[in-house]
Chains A and B, each alone.
Chain A
């Protein structure tokens, strides 16, 4: 009757365990010895059959005989094989004595392969395992979007420049960067700190004087006296401008970089004027 089974299932009609590919037929049955769909390896079409299967790292020998063909529950007899390779091979030989050579040989081959892959599993688990972490698309997209927005909000270039300028101000670079204007401003600021109170009082007086003087100048012709007054006008206005500029310097730190040098040139020149005109006024006064 095994021949009948093979004629129907194996060759002609449908077998649910059979997988056909271009070159070969495979058998998906879990009791199959070789995995191919052959007359000699089909567990359904052979009434006397044996396989090796492993469960949880232990190998078992499964046997099927004709006597038990009527009892599907007791069909497959299971024998536990020892962990020792050679002993297990002997056990296979013992159990399958008087069985066809093909089945015995294939059983031993299968057992060898199984032990080899079990050894490999044990070795790999000791080594470093690569952990695969699944990516979640929604989360990846969200992170990317947040990163872009954070980048825009960060304004990195500005932040770095600001930090560097701060460090320059706090003299972390010491004497490397010799910006004379910087030192000059510092000196000026010190001077201002000393003469601030004086200049405040002077400012108010000068304002009134200037107003009067301006009116006076416009009305009269140019005389020596007027020339004196005009000088005084210039000096006072210069002083005022200087004070204002220093105030503006201290307030607007980074706002006028370009006007800076142009502005800073003025104090240089004006001081020279002061020096020149001061003796002149003195002489004229006397």
Chain B
């Protein structure tokens, strides 16, 4: 009898020595989608239908037969640790939870590198983030992955995808993202291309029109394949089965930050290593990731609709121990809920333990936490109200998120999309405008998030935990420190009554993401006009799609003709160059903290993001140098030459980093020519002098110049302008070479 307890839930590998299935759970999203809430509590502990998100993930992993789970914490590590102890996750039989803590990781890539160093992962593992809600069985996908690995060592990762209706509208309304566009080999299920559209990571400069998206497939992707499937009807579940090599790859490529943006793309564009990613499609099981507030709302509703069974409100798991009772129309009521006689609780609602609801109050499609006091004649629709919230009489709340301990006074109105962070007080009869975010923590200044990469960095800024919280950095005296002791001083009334009403408390955060982000990622329903726009775009898209289909078919049959749309790639070229230039200028202008290495890393990542070659980078870098030189004040060509010389002397090293051979240098020369001919005619008379400078600084080798000269020998006359100009220099080079030869001969 006793031996039953020790039997593992699932046996993954019966034939071999039993290897425990391990999972790595990233309990930090490294994004800021949930700010200002995440300033005070990590995202993985935010309650989804009154249960912390991480409990869903852990329960699923435990049920699916994972035996060892490493929880990686970064921001608010203590809170996560405490929760794991409190919810008894650390004392589960057959499921070991180990916390790995680091405070200097700013991205998923850093986290994985850190885990690799620790050497705790011993074999294939499941990589998920702490905000995944799923009930899929991992047995099959792990088995498939392992069997594939036995045959092919290069199959490093298996990505779980789910089929959805192929409609950008659905994607938008459900998860706030664009459609995922992937290319898959239908036979082997190998992933050939991955394009998430407008990226969830917040790259706003990387705009795609959803109706016209391009896909550029490598030659090799089409070789040896009878067919390639382009899919827009798949949803990335962000559940990956990885082999140990994934960690090694992250360590080798220290500039990989995000799993999807850098790692997956890097792997797909890198043909030398030949690592492969495969996909696994789940059918009826549920899997979704709570990436933003819209997804939060939608996944909540899915939980209420029981798609995530057995992770549903009336079955206790993890920290969820309050026995909720399921009633008709998806209403869940906990024990000890006090409902007044005239109150109405509409369908799809959850009422937590000890909540009181006053006379004449209506609640619809909302989740209400534990111990909330809701007054009379309140109307609540589509809201997520967490624990111990007080809502006084006649208040009206629509599609809002109200965090723990917040107070909404008599007659106040929350318009759709409002987020009230912890302990915020909204004054009586005050109307909070749509999409406002109000927090007791003042908004950090923009300075430190100007750089895109740094966006992840201050996700780590924990309250009273992280030594370099952004509040301490901005010199503003009022916001000087937002940690505990200062708060009381704040309460004495520094609040702006225009923001939160009389007797209110909290700061209204200015909208930084712009209106676009507002409606896209909020809990409020997508506005009607946006839906109309999307539908219009979709219809347009369909017409185009029909055209594209023929195109695609033709391309496939041609098996590897260059499929580049001239105009589009031109635009992309511009984008790329602008980004490189921007990056460079930040260094040149001496923006604090930007170092040469950073620029190199960044340009490298841009190279991956835009799928460029080194010579493209070098070209773009060269153009930026030229622009910088031109930007310096000059009156004569002589002065221009001096400033150019200075620039090249100073930053030539950067160029060298991207010149991997004489071919690249050759490219640079062509770019140079182009620059002189088209954009900056000022340089035209100085061509040969600058060429000499480049030669002197070892940026361009003799061979490259010779090759260029040879090529241009047969060109048209107007192409030879610069060749003629630099004739003496080339002559000198040749002579020098001959001299060398002669010397050697002697």
Asked if chains A and B come from one complex, the reply is no
